[in-house]
Amino acid sequence: MAVRSTGPKRWEHELSEASAYSAYSTIRIERAGDRIAWVYLNRPEKRNAMSPQLHMEMYHALDELEIDDEIDVVVIAGAEGNFSSGQDLKQFFRELEDKPDQRYLMEQRYCKWRWDRLSTFPKITIAMVDGWCVGGAFTHLVACDFAIAAEQARFSLSEVNWGIIPGGMVTKAVVEAMGYRDSLYYILTAEELDGARAAQVGLVNRAVPAAELRAEVERLATMLMRKNQHVLRASKQACRMVMRGMDNDQSLDYLGAKFTQLKALDPSNGYSTGLSSFVDGKTYKPVHDPYPRG
Ligand code: ACO
pLDDT of residue 278: 84
pLDDT of residue 126: 98
Question: Is 63's pLDDT higher than 60?
Answer: yes
Question: Is 14's pLDDT higher than 70?
Answer: no
Query: Can you tell me the distance from the alpha carbon of 124 to that of 146, in angstroms, rounded to the nearest whole number?
Result: 8
Ligand 1 and 86: CB distance under 6 A: yes
Q: What whole-number percentage of the chain has pLDDT above 90?
A: 72
Q: What is the mean pLDDT of residues 255-259?
A: 96
Measuring from atom 20 of ligand 1, which residue has the nearest CA? 46
Q: What is the mean pLDDT of residues 81-108?
A: 91
Measuring from atom 11 of ligand 1, which residue has the nearest CA? 46
Measured from the Cα of 137, ligand 1's closest atom is 50
Residue 82: name the closest of 174, 31, 21, 155 by CA: 155
3-state secondary structure of 128: strand
Question: Is 16's pLDDT higher than 70?
Answer: no
Q: What is the mean pLDDT of residues 186-209?
A: 98
Mean pLDDT of the chain: 89
pLDDT of residue 23: 81
Question: Is 99's pLDDT higher than 60?
Answer: yes
Q: Do the beta carbons of residue 49 and residue 80 sit within 8 Å? A: no
Q: What whole-number percentage of the chain has pLDDT above 70?
A: 90
3-state secondary structure of 14: helix
Q: If you measure from the C-alpha of residue 46 to the centroid of ligand 1, how many angstroms do you get, rounded to a whole number?
A: 6
DSSP code at position 5: P
Residue 93: name the closest of 178, 13, 162, 8 by CA: 162
Burial of 215 (0-12, 13-18, 19+ CB in 10 A): exposed
What are the helix (H) ranges across 153-226?
170-178, 180-189, 195-200, 213-225
Q: Give the tens place of pLDDT for each residue, 128-187.
A: 999 999 999 999 999 999 999 999 999 999 999 999 999 999 999 999 999 999 999 999
Q: What is the mean pLDDT of residues 65-88?
A: 96
- Other CB atoms within 10 Å distance of the CB of residue 78: 26
Predicted TM-score (pTM) of the model is 0.91
Query: What does the domain layout of the chain look like in residue ranges?
Result: 2-225, 229-280
Interhelix angle for 52-67 vs 10-18, to 10°?
100
Ligand 1 and 154: CB distance under 6 A: no
CATH of 2-225, one of 3.90.25.10, 3.90.226.10, 3.30.930.10, 1.10.150.20: 3.90.226.10
